[in-house]
Structure 1
Amino acid sequence: MAISSGLAATCNPGLIIKNRFFLQRSNLSYNFASKTRFLDNPCKKSDEFGQRLSFLRPRCEAVSVDNGEVESKVNSLSALELLKSSAADRYTKEKSSIFVIGLNIHTAPLDIREKLSIPEAQWAQAIGELCALNHIEEAAVLSTCNRLEIYVVALSQHRGIKEVTEWMSKISGVPVSELSDHRFMLYNKDAVRHLFEVSAGLDSLVLGEGQILSQVKQVVKTGQGVPGFDRKISGLFKHAITAGKRVRSETNISTGSVSVSSAAVELALLKIPNSSYASARVLVVGAGKMGKLVIKHLVAKGCKKMVVVNRTPDRVAAICEELKNVEIVYRPLSDLQSCAAEADVVFTSTATETPLFLREQVQKFPPVSSQIGGLRLFVDISVPRAVESCVSAVETASVYNVDDLKEVVEANKEDRLRKAMEAQVIITEEVKQFEAWKDSLETVPTIKKLRAYAERIRASEVDRCLSKMGDNITKKQKAAIYDLSLGIVNKLLHGPMQHLRCDGTDNRNLSEILDNMHTLNRIFGLDTDVSLLEEKIRAKIEQSKK
């Protein structure tokens, strides 16, 4: 790899540059438009840019060689040597980062979000694909009707962002340039706070919505045992669940709040004359979590008869058992079109990848009663959409999707905003606790390295002792010597290990523990992070070649 003339100009001709850098790191383009705390802060961007540029400054050492020898040494560097020479600055100056890249109802329209929707059944596969990228260690996917958010732990923040964005473009067919117009990106503590706010319902279309907490729980359930859903990401989502529960139990933010499902029912009430379901023929498509909530809210509004279309009858039967005084008629998916032709109001809540209702089909449906307004009402809360967008052009139909629910939500927004301020206090406390837990993980490699260091010495000394004792020693004597050496090592390590653990069993704070870690690293020469990171990135590259 040739050295940039710009860099070479900073050194004398007779100097060999010991570290080389990929200049693409200076490409620091971000899109923070979706979060006001990142909006156009020139001071912050300038400081950050200056810090990043400091990593690019080459270090030079004087060597008594002529220019020809310099050129020969540069040209003879292998790709692996270049990797090693750049790894120290690329990966140790910048710790592993937690960041989130996403699109949600605040940043992207529905036609973009539905292209990036990832069904729950594919979350594990997505984690595997993300962690196969060169700079991604851990990953999680949160995909709902209102958002797709990718959470990762990355070896390199900026390279990780590029890889994840390109992956999102690949799976969706949306160009990177278009994704960049709608995505948001948050790093480290801001990414943590965002997930906690999401779990608490503070970032939902409906402030205080409860469905999102169960979806965050599902991320943890789905990720169990999946390679790549590892300690940091798993811990992040478990802390988010705790934060969400605390906000709901310690504030009144959920009191009187509505979910997406209840907002859909409220919207239908607004659009039907007399705001009554008494004479309306109602069809609900899908009996999953969202569909079940739609049915419950319909019943709460006085609807006592409806048709439910679902792939299998089991879920519908369970709903019938729970709602005894309601007439719920199950129909299979094959009867969907005939059921819709007989309905005045159609709610869709499915995980279909292709629309269930097309324009040419809806055009053939018979007109609805003038008492209902003469328009067949489709309320589609599926993402991707179950009702083709051009159905809205049919004269006898009226179509609403999740982006149209804002009309319902605005009514009691001010009250929820006051409650959200109380919730932010709890979120701040939980973020601090998570950051302390995450920082405490820094001591784990030191604990492992210290024990391995002691074990090497113990094993070497035991072998030396046994070799001096000759062949006449019995197995029992060997075991006694082994136990003795192990007992001595364990007792000697007990004190240092206790001073590295952050489990809440003593009064040591995190800064003291981290000081102890750095001291032990220095005393025993345990700072081998550079080689470990080289091994990680080398393994990633080899894996990508297969």
Structure 2
Amino acid sequence: MSVLTIGISHRTAPVAMLERVAVSGETLVKLLYDVQQDACVAEAMVVSTCNRVEIYAAVDRFHAAVTSISRLLSVHTGVTVDELRPHLYVHYEDRAVEHLFSLVCGLDSMVVGEGQILGQVRRALKLAQKQGTVGATLNELMQQALRVGKRAHTDTGIDTASASLVTAGLALAGDLAGRRALVVGAGSMSSLAAVTLARAGVTDIVVANRTLERGVRLAEAVGGRAVEFAAVPEELAAAELVITCTGGGQHVITPDMLKSVMSGRQAFLLDLALPHDIDSAVREVPGVTLVDLETIQESGIGSRDGDTIESVRTLVAEELAAFLSAERAAKVTPTVVALRSKAAGVVEAELGRLLMRMPHLDGKAKDEVAQTVQRVVDKLLHEPTVRVKQLATSPGGDHYAEALRELFDLDPKMPEAVREVEL
């Protein structure tokens, strides 16, 4: 099986298109299940965030899988394939692995170096595991990717500035200390927002969430207070900073809510959700500044360059080379096992015939003969099997395994049977 990635992100599509293809909840689960059930696909996982949707799949046919997965993405988002096609990117085999490693390190994020993507990929993997749509191929790849991402964030300075969409958005708000804030939502992004506000000196933080208990836990963690979700219009009257990230699919803040409470004052609104939480028409309300994902993308405030980025790219290249080398070596192992199994069968058969012709041999002599024959076979096979494992780590190394199968007339089904037993 080969790894295929099909995705759409802030790098290839405007936020308006990303808003249309955003999947979550039951829609995401149904997409995940339908992709895995496709005849071309053995395993599937979906990474869906506020600025990307990526489908990772273990496939046996490239073109057929691309067609099928693109169609399923269209079906579950309501966006036609013709509309999707100009914005989709496709990565296959080595390129798919490279893209994933770069992704978890934060190199492909709207805010370069942000660490949230690591948790988002981890949650996507857990969901796929829970739904039973991933197996050995994607499990192994994703676990390695998470290790690479963690290493990037601990061994390099990629996140020394605590880069995130939250910090990028709030950088446009000016001085935060002493201002009153309303955080709408209590998920991971909202939690990061609340913590960021508290660290910046915001002493009055209100959390509004559909599930009050979760809102209470978040508010207590930052020394704020929690309110019912229905209290959002009332809380807007005093809020100077408003951060939303519910992604519920409906606007939670509208122009009408603000018109009656904005007389003679200023408010900064940060919408980090897709679909958007805040109606963009609030920009027409005097005193309101709205920053959303489009604003952050256009500002370029999250972009980075220099030695830190290069160090992460070097890390990705090293980890990619090591992963691909180990993967190629693993592919030849079943063939080596099959060869040794066939050799063992030949030894056993020949010893059986020998002992039938020489029944007078005692036990000690029989053991000596058997050990001698086995040593001869082991020595003859040692060099070619070691060498083929070494050669297999290079690009195109699987051809050496094919040559081994051909030279020793191995049953083509046997290496695959060995692989299945190992899994």
TM-score, L = length of structure 2: 0.79
Residue number in structure 2 paired with 1:286: 185
Tell me: CA distance 1:276–1:138, structure 2 relative to 1, closer, same or farther (3 Å): closer
Q: Give per-residue Cα distances to partners, 1:335-363, cap 9 Å, x unaligned.
A: 2333234433321011312222344x436
Residue number in structure 2 paired with 1:382: 273
Of residues 131-140 and 302-311 in structure 1, the stretch that sits farther from structure 2 once superposed is 131-140
Whole-Å separation in 2 of the counterparts to 1:501 and 1:151: 33
Tell me: CA distance 1:518–1:256, structure 2 relative to 1, closer, same or farther (3 Å): same
Of residues 130-139 and 393-402 in structure 1, the stretch that sits farther from structure 2 once superposed is 393-402
1:104 equivalenced with 2:9 (yes/no) = yes
8 Å contact kept, 2:264–2:287? no
Residue number in structure 2 paired with 1:355: 251
Residue number in structure 1 paired with 2:123: 218
Question: What aligned pairs does 1:125-140 form with structure 2 within 5 A after superposition?
Answer: 125-140=30-45
Tell me: CA distance 1:501–1:243, structure 2 relative to 1, closer, same or farther (3 Å): farther
Question: What aligned pairs does 1:205-284 form with structure 2 within 5 A after superposition?
Answer: 205-269=110-174, 275-278=175-178, 280-284=179-183
Whole-Å separation in 2 of the counterparts to 1:281 and 1:266: 16
Any idea what SS the aligned residue of 2:173 has? Answer: helix
Tell me: CA distance 1:402–1:456, structure 2 relative to 1, closer, same or farther (3 Å): farther
Of residues 282-291 and 332-341 in structure 1, the stretch that sits farther from structure 2 once superposed is 332-341
Structure 1 unmatched runs, 5+: 1-95, 270-274, 458-488, 533-546
8 Å contact kept, 1:103–1:182? yes
How far did residue 430 of structure 1 move? 0.7
How far did residue 249 of structure 1 move? 2.1
How far did residue 224 of structure 1 move? 2.3
Of residues 172-181 and 432-441 in structure 1, the stretch that sits farther from structure 2 once superposed is 432-441
1:430 equivalenced with 2:319 (yes/no) = yes
RMSD: 3.8
Structure 2 unmatched runs, 5+: 347-373, 418-423
Residue number in structure 2 paired with 1:318: 217
1:346 equivalenced with 2:242 (yes/no) = yes
8 Å contact kept, 2:3–2:56? yes
8 Å contact kept, 1:443–1:501? no
Tell me: CA distance 1:263–1:497, structure 2 relative to 1, closer, same or farther (3 Å): farther
Any idea what SS the aligned residue of 1:268 has? Answer: coil
Q: Give per-residue Cα distances to partners, 1:91-124, cap 9 Å, x unaligned.
A: xxxxx43221111111111121122222266555
8 Å contact kept, 1:446–1:521? no
Of residues 155-164 and 125-134 in structure 1, the stretch that sits farther from structure 2 once superposed is 125-134
Tell me: CA distance 1:453–1:122, structure 2 relative to 1, closer, same or farther (3 Å): farther
Residue correspondences, number? 391
**Higher CA-based Rg:** 1
Of residues 123-132 and 144-153 in structure 1, the stretch that sits farther from structure 2 once superposed is 123-132
| % identical equivalent positions | 26
8 Å contact kept, 2:183–2:242? yes
Q: Give per-residue Cα distances to partners, 1:268-295, cap 9 Å, x unaligned.
A: 22xxxxx3452x4421101111111111
Question: What aligned pairs does 1:15-30 form with structure 2 within 5 A after superposition?
Answer: none
Residue number in structure 1 paired with 2:260: 366
Any idea what SS the aligned residue of 1:239 has? Answer: helix
Any idea what SS the aligned residue of 2:236 has? Answer: helix
**1:241 is aligned with what amino acid?**
L
8 Å contact kept, 1:247–1:423? yes
Tell me: CA distance 1:124–1:171, structure 2 relative to 1, closer, same or farther (3 Å): closer
**1:189 is aligned with what amino acid?**
D
Q: Give per-residue Cα distances to partners, 1:165-219, cap 9 Å, x unaligned.
A: 1111111111111111211222221221111111111111111111111212222
**1:340 is aligned with what amino acid?**
L
TM-score, L = length of structure 1: 0.63
Q: Give per-residue Cα distances to partners, 1:60-93, cap 9 Å, x unaligned.
A: xxxxxxxxxxxxxxxxxxxxxxxxxxxxxxxxxx
1:510 equivalenced with 2:398 (yes/no) = no
